[in-house]
Structure 1
C-alpha cells in the first residue's frame, strides 16, 4: 500500500525528480523531469546527468568531480541551491534544487523550473531605479504587498534613515499596526484592487498617513498595476503627493474668495488697462455691425480717432468692392457664433490708406446689449509687402532659370543636329557631283532621298521633344520616376555621349511619385548639366552618372543621383543650393540652377534636396550624391 502511494507521488508531482548512483548515472527519472528537460526516459536512464543537461558541464567549465551536486553526494551530504540546466532543445533553465542521500547510497535530486520567477524578479528590481530620486513618495510592491522599492521621501516620512529598511515589509509591519485595522486595512485593500485593474487604469484617492513624529499628513495617492512584457501584472506602484498644506490652506482660500469678490471693481480696471495698452487692435461690433468699442491700437492702425469710429458701420474700413461680402459674413457669424480662424484681409484706413491685416473674431453673448463680435487685428502691411517682393524676386529667378534652361536646350539641339546636318550636306553634295558627271543612277538617287527624309524626320522629332519639355503644364498627378528620368537623359543624350559620360538608370518602372512631371524633368536636366560640367573640370578614369531609388521610412521615395566626378569640396556642400552661388568661375555659372531645384522640390513636391559626397573603400572621395526626397502624400 505504501509503495503504491510513493509511486503515485513519484508520477504526479510537478517537481522534476531523478536518482543517480555513485558513478553519477541516472537510474530513474519521473515524468515531470522528462517534461521539464525535454528528454525521454530512455534518453536519461543510464546516462550521467551532469554531462547531459548541466549547463556548467556542457560549456566545459566544470567536471563531474567539481559539480556542486556530485561533490555533496560524494560527502554524503544534502544539497540545496540554484543551478542552470539545459533542455534537449538548448534552452537554459534556472532551477531550484534539493538533494538528499538515500539509504542505499544513491542520491535523489528534486528540482523545479524557476526561470520565469527569476525573470520577473529582475523586472521588478529594475523598477527601483525609477523611484530613487523623485521628491514625491513612490512605493513599488510585489503581489504579496511587500515593498520592492521605494525612495528617500517615504523613508523620511516613516522616520527611517534609508529606503532599504522598508524593503520586504508590508504596510502593517512598516507602521507597526494590525493589518485588519484602519488605516492599514484600507491601504492593503486598495493594493489588492490595484492588482486587478486593466493596464492604464488607477485608483486615485486621498490617504491619511501617520508620520514618525505622530502627526497626521494627507497625501493624494495614485495606485496602479505594473505589467511586464507578457501583459502580466508583476507589481503595483503608489505615487503620493503631500497635500497637507494644500488642505490646510483651503479654509484660508475660502475666506480669501470673499475678499476677491470685493476686488471685482479693481479687476475691471485691470482688464480695462490691458484693453487700452495692448498692441493688438481690438474692437467690438454689435449685431448690426456698428462699432461699440475700439481700443487705442485699433485706432492707430487705421488712423481714425475713437470718436470717428464709434457708431459707424465696420465696413468703413473695408474696401468698397468687398463690403457686401463682409456684411454677409458678419450676419452669418452673429447668427451661428462659430469662432473664426485667423485670416488675412486687405482693408483701408483713413484717407484711403491701403492696409493688410491678420484678423480673428469671437462671439460675446453674456453682455448687456449683446451679442457682440469681438475682433482682434494685427497690422501685417510690411510683412505682406515683403512677401510680395519675395514672390517678385522668385519670379525673376524663375525667368532667369528658364533662360538658362533655354540656353542648355539650344546647346542640346546643336549637338543633336550636328551629325544629321553633316550627313545631309554630304549627301546633297554627292548628288550634285554625280548629276554633273552624268553618273547619277535612279536607285542611288532614291536611296539618297530616303536617307535625307530620315534625317529631316529625326531632326523634326528632336524639335518636338524639346517643345514638349517646355510645355507649361502644371497638372499634378502620379507618374513614373523611371520614365521622367529617362526622358531628361534623352534630352541631353548627345551632349553626354560627346563628353564620354555613361548614364545608368536603375530605377524600377513601378516607382511612382506625385507632382508636376515636367518640373521634375527640369530638376533632373539641371543635375545632369552640373555633373557634365563637373567632369570637364576633373580628369577621372570612369565618367558615369547613376540614378537609383530607395524607399523612405514614411512610405515616400528617395531618388539618388550619383556621379564619379570627384565630389564637392566639403566647405561648399552647405552653400551650393544658395541663390547666385556658383563654383563654375570663368564658365559664368548663374548660380540659380540648384536654387530652382530646391524651390521645385519644396513647393511642387513638398519634398527636399540635399547633397553629400561618397567615398571608396580606401576612404578617397569618388563623387557626389544628390538626394531628392518625395513624401508619401498628395499635395
Structure 2
C-alpha cells in the first residue's frame, strides 16, 4: 500500500494535520512532516503533540485559531499569511488550510523570506498607522513644499468641518480659510520651511461649532537626503479653553491685590478695635490695682496723722520737734510711693517718643510695682530672673503682654485653690533670640482648650470677670510689635508660656 507519510516527508512543503478538541475550541497536532518541523523550529525526528494555540501563539493579521474555526465550520479552504512559528518569531509561514471529511484540519505552509514578509505586512501596517492617526485627539497633516496637503487626519477634518477630499483637492489655504487666516498660515509655512527646528504659531481658525478657536500649530519640515526639503508635517492643538481659563485667571489676579488690601485693612481695623477693647478692660483692672495698691499706704498715712494728733493732745499742742520730723519723713515717703504708683500706671499704655529700645532690668523694676498688689495680695509668690539684654520695641508693650500672662496665671492659681501659688518669670539668650518663660503652679490648661487660648473672646471665666482678649492681645503684641512668637505648653505643675523675641544692638 502507498505510504503517504513517506511522500509527505519528501516534499519541501510543511504539512500539519490537526484534530479538533472540545468542539473546535482548540486543535491538536496529530501529524507533522519533517519540513513542517523545520518551519516550526523542532528537531528532526522530534515528536510533536502541541495544541494550535501553543504552536502558533500569535499571528500578524488575525488570530490563527479564527481561521481554523472558520474552515472547520464552513469546510472552505482559507489562505493564511505570516504566521509566527513556535519557539522563534523570526520564522514566518504562509499557505492554506483544508478540512478533511473526518473533521481534521490540514495546513499546507511554506516559509517566507523577509522581503515577502514586508510585502504582505505593508498594507496592514499602513492601515494600522492610518487608524492611529485618525483616532488621535489632535489635528495631524502633511503637505509638500508648495503647500498642497497630502494627508489630513479625521480629528482635523471634524474640527474644521472640511472633508478630507476637499482638503486634498485644493492647492493651498486660500479656498479653505478666511483670507487673514490663510495668509497667516502661509507665513508660518515659510518660516517652518526655512528653519531646521519645529515652528510654533497661534492661529485663529473657525470651527464647526461656529466659534473662532485659538489653535496652537507646530510645523516641522521633512527632508530627504537626495531631494532636500520635501514639505511639512504639522500638528494642531485647540487651546481655546486653556487660554480662556488663563484670561479669567489674569482678570482675577488684577482684582486680587485690591481685594487682599481691603481684607488686610478690615483685619487691621478689627485688630485695632480689639486692641482698644482690651485696653479699656485692662484700664478697669488698672484702676482696681491702683485702688488696691493705695489702700494700705493711705491707711498708714491715716494712722500717722492719728498718732500725731494724740501726741499733740497729750503735750497740749506742743509736740516734740523730733516727732514732727519723723511724721514729715513718713508722710513724704508714703506720698512719694503713691506718686510713683500713679506714674507706673500712667505710662502703662503709652509709647514714649524717642529711642524704641529698652533694657530688661527696667522692665523688671517696673513690673514689681505693677504686679505686687494683685499678685502678692492673693498670697502668690513672684520670682523673676531676667538677663539684662537690650530689646527692640517699647517697654510698655512688653509690660502689657507680661501683665496679661501674670493675671492669667494668678486666676488659675486662685480658681484651682492652690495655697502656695508661685509665678516664675525667666529670661535668657538662646542663639540670637531672647527667650522669656512665664510658668505657674496653677494646674495647667486642659488639653481640649489649650489650642484655643490665643483666640479672641475665648475665656473660661464668667463674662463679668473676663473679656477673653488678654492672651489674644498678648499674642498680637509679641508678633506685631516685637516680630516674635509665643507658645504655650503644660509642665508638671502648670502652664508654661514661652516668648521668643529678637534683641537690639547695644549694651545695657
The structure whose RCO (Cα within 8 Å, separation 6+) is larger is 2
